[in-house]
Structure 1
Amino acid sequence: MSYSQFTLETVEQAFGLSIIEKLGIFATVPEVSISDFLKQCLEYNTPLALEIATEKARSEMIITPILIELKQQFQSKISLFSGREFNVDSQQGLMGYCDFIISKSPSQLLIKSPVAVIVEAKNDNIQSGLGQCIAEMVAAQILNRRQDNNNETVYGCVTTGTNWKFMRLIDTVVEIEPNEYFLNNVGKIMGILRSFVE
């Protein structure tokens, strides 16, 4: 089994999780300014990515520039991984590739704890990525504990590039924000991502 095989139902059963919707978890997080470079990049890239209409195009042309901007805002004191293998526990099926991982460690050589955010890209269906993202968050939580890190909360996100759905894992409870955030308010998306790292 690998991350991509988990659904909401199977991930809840496999790890004894309580998955709940909780309205307004991130509503009070303030927007942050983004660079002119990111604005220009998204203005040009977004229509192109939507015309190409593949998960890869959305990932490379919309999501990656936003996450690179996040890394720049933290002056590269965080690490960003894209398409890296994240094998934490093969017996539990916590293995495979993650679209994006953000760690509070500046090291780009190894994925080190605390892993703060998991971002899963989906072409058109956010719901289909929730189980996979939660499994990756459980793996991040295990890694954090293994490395004696007290960072108990792991954040996750499933995005199409234009729509972003955020969640958090605290102990065995997954709280999913029912509302989605949209690319036309990228400052809010960036604010939420920043709050996860801070």
Structure 2
Amino acid sequence: MPFSSYKTIGSVLQEFQITYTEEDFIIETEFEISDYFREDLQITMEDGMVNNSEFAICENLIYPVLKEVWKSYRTQFILWSHQALSYDENLSGFPEYILAKKSPLGKFVFDKPFFVLIEAKQDNFEAGWAQCMAEMVAAQRLNEKPEQDVFGIVSNGGVWQFGKLNGSYFTRNRRFYTIQDLDKLFAVVNWIFEQCKIMLA
């Protein structure tokens, strides 16, 4: 069934026999945000309709943040938008965004390993994490390296939550971040990208 069929965290934990824990595992790593980005985001948030749908949240609030950090890592990774991800009939669908290794064959090749799965939800973080965790399981199985971290992000645009899957253990970061504190949010996303870069080595 598609990723979107998973509605509760408990159902994903049971189906895939994953142990759930919560702890603060993120080490904020400073990222310099341009004045242009700050001003552009502020204008968008003040005068634009940014959260009337999951598509609007993706385009106006999530993708701009991800893209700004990705630009510093673009030689190693491709940030895919709404790309099909399929492991089997129970694990398939279209995550909002996927951070994947940049293929030596060029940017048109959707290559593994897959490192970060990002889901947008207007307010239902339970369903968002259920869907994101299923996507993380699919990525882990496609990567064929269960000991390698796969990261997940669920956001309604304003609030951002972070987790990671390693083997059969899922850890959700206790602390969540908001787009109102842009420096800390960027520091977290930057740390995750940096961990992915380390795993490529």
Please, what TM-score do these two structures have when normalized by structure 1?
0.88
Per the alignment, in what secondary structure is the counterpart of residue 82 of structure 2? strand
Q: Which residue of 1 aligns with 2:5?
A: 5
Alignment of 1:1-198 (within 5 A): 1-6=1-6, 7-22=8-23, 24-26=24-26, 28-47=27-46, 48-50=48-50, 53-90=52-89, 93-105=90-102, 107-145=106-144, 152-198=148-194
Do the aligned partners of residues 38 and 151 (structure 1) sit closer, same or farther apart at CA in structure 2, a change above 3 Å counting? farther
**Tell me, which stretches of 5 or more residues in structure 2 are unaligned?**
195-201
Distance 1:175 1:188 in 2: 20
Which amino acid in structure 1 is aligned with residue 93 of structure 2?
G
Amino acid at match of 2:169: V
The alpha carbon displacement at 1:76 in A equals 4.3
1:114 and 1:151 in contact (8 A); partners too? no
What is the rounded CA distance, in whole Å, between the counterparts of 1:3 and 1:170 in structure 2? 19
Question: In structure 2, what is the Cα distance between the partners aligned to 1:46 and 1:57?
Answer: 11
Structure 1: 5+ residue runs without aligned partners? none
- Structure 1 runs of 4+ aligned residues shifted over 4 Å read none
Shift in Å at residue 88 of structure 1? 1.5
Amino acid at match of 2:155: T
* Total equivalences in the alignment: 190
Secondary structure of the residue aligned to 1:58 is: helix
CA contact (8 A) 1:105 1:114 kept: no
Please give the alpha-carbon distance, in whole angstroms, between the structure 2 residues aligned to 1:128 and 1:150: 24
Aligned partners of 1:144 and 1:151 also within 8 Å: no
User: Alpha-carbon deviation of 1:190?
Assistant: 2.1
Distance 1:38 1:196 in 2: 20
Alignment partner of 2:95: what SS? strand
Distance across 2 between alignment mates of 1:111 and 1:188: 30
Say which SS state the counterpart of residue 34 (structure 1) adopts: coil
Matched-pair identity in % = 29
Say if 1:104 and 1:197, in contact at 8 Å, map to a contact too.
no
The whole-number CA distance in structure 1 between the counterparts of 2:79 and 2:38 is 20
For 1:194 and 1:56, the matched residues in 2 are separated by: 23
Partner-residue secondary structure (3-state), 1:109: coil
